Homo-oligomer: A and B are copies of this chain.
């Protein structure tokens, strides 16, 4: 039962940051937000029992405006259905994250829409509860349910996102991420196609060891464990050939002292972890120079790995 007069607001706006997902060792599971890039979504309550996308700005590329085919739209449809809401939503999306960049753009629109819509509910939900609806939205964009971009946007910091729940993990406050986005696009679906086929058990054992080392290293603040673990033997070898300049960019990041470096999300962006902000800052021009050598301009962002998630504006 929802009575308009008892609702706190009829319109809300929220911002969700970009994020680095997969994080070398947590394919479809691990991620963290990035400071400085994000999507902003305005949601209005409407009497019509439906979800409408009224505008998408900040991008030249046409995105689906049919609600069921848009990440933000599909997520709010899932919310309406689950909560039996009598009213609908109207959505305005301002893209601030480059499309098909591996920076979680579709997830950010979806999370910002849910966080904004949550403000319009008489009994707002926890972010854990919103996470479930966001999985529906993300599935529309990527063709599969996985929350590695979504969890960090809801919770902030390094987050494990399974299909059932999100778990925020400890990570030292001083550790910083460098994210570099070359001016190239790599479609998520194409990046996923590169992963088709089966995998040998030995690669999985090696990758599991790396995952455990990274989790233990983050929890203890032991960079040696992370240096040993932050290496992707499973996914990166199959996707790296799709990214022109990747090898040189990764090499530059590691030569600048990174604990590890790999592909952000489905790529083509590259991330690297450093023990201090100063190291990440010194590394940035070296990594962008590597992409320049390969013929691509690029943008970079430096943020603590333990960065904030989405906020209501």
Write the residues of chain A forming the contact surface with B, with a CB cutoff of 8 angstroms: 26-30, 146, 160, 162-165, 167, 169, 195, 197-201, 204-205, 207-209, 211-213, 215-216, 219, 225, 228, 234
Residues of B within 8 A of A215 (CB): 212, 215-216
Q: With A204-B204, A204-B207 in contact, is A26–B212 under 8 Å at CB?
A: yes
Contact (Cβ within 8 A) B211 A208: yes
Give the distance in Å from the alpha carbon of A160 to the alpha carbon of B205 in the complex: 12
Contact (Cβ within 8 A) A162 B198: no
Q: Which 4 A-B pairs have the closest CB atoms?
A: A198-B198, A162-B209, A28-B205, A160-B212
Question: Apart from A162-B228, A199-B204, what are 6 other A-B pairs with CB-CB below 8 Å?
Answer: A27-B204, A160-B216, A201-B234, A208-B211, A211-B211, A219-B219
Q: With A198-B199, A199-B198, A225-B167 in contact, is A162–B204 under 8 Å at CB?
A: no
Q: What are some 27 contacts across the A-B interface (CB < 8 A)?
A: A26-B212, A27-B204, A27-B205, A27-B208, A28-B205, A29-B208, A29-B209, A29-B212, A146-B205, A162-B209, A162-B213, A163-B209, A165-B228, A167-B212, A167-B216, A167-B225, A198-B200, A198-B201, A199-B199, A199-B200, A199-B204, A207-B208, A208-B208, A211-B212, A212-B215, A215-B215, A215-B216
Give the distance in Å from the alpha carbon of A219 to the alpha carbon of B216 in the complex: 9
Least CB distance, A95 to chain B, in whole angstroms: 28
Least CB distance, A25 to chain B, in whole angstroms: 8
Residues of B within 8 A of A205 (CB): 27-29, 146
Least CB distance, A239 to chain B, in whole angstroms: 12
Give the distance in Å from the alpha carbon of A209 to the alpha carbon of B205 in the complex: 14
Contact (Cβ within 8 A) B27 A213: no
Residue of A162, A164, A167, A212 most packed against chain B (CB within 10 A): A212
Residues of B within 8 A of A27 (CB): 201, 204-205, 208
Give the distance in Å from the alpha carbon of A213 to the alpha carbon of B163 in the complex: 12
Give the distance in Å from the alpha carbon of A198 to the alpha carbon of B197 in the complex: 9
Residues of B within 8 A of A197 (CB): 198
Closest to A214 in B: B212
Give the distance in Å from the alpha carbon of A201 to the alpha carbon of B194 in the complex: 12
Residues of B within 8 A of A225 (CB): 167
Contact (Cβ within 8 A) A160 B209: yes
Residues of B within 8 A of A163 (CB): 209
Residues of B within 8 A of A165 (CB): 228
Give the distance in Å from the alpha carbon of A200 to the alpha carbon of B195 in the complex: 10
Contact (Cβ within 8 A) A204 B234: yes
Residues of B within 8 A of A228 (CB): 162, 164-165
Residues of B within 8 A of A146 (CB): 205
Least CB distance, A120 to chain B, in whole angstroms: 31
Give the distance in Å from the alpha carbon of A198 to the alpha carbon of B202 in the complex: 10
Least CB distance, A153 to chain B, in whole angstroms: 18
Least CB distance, A160 to chain B, in whole angstroms: 5
Residues of B within 8 A of A209 (CB): 29, 160, 162-163
Least CB distance, A163 to chain B, in whole angstroms: 8
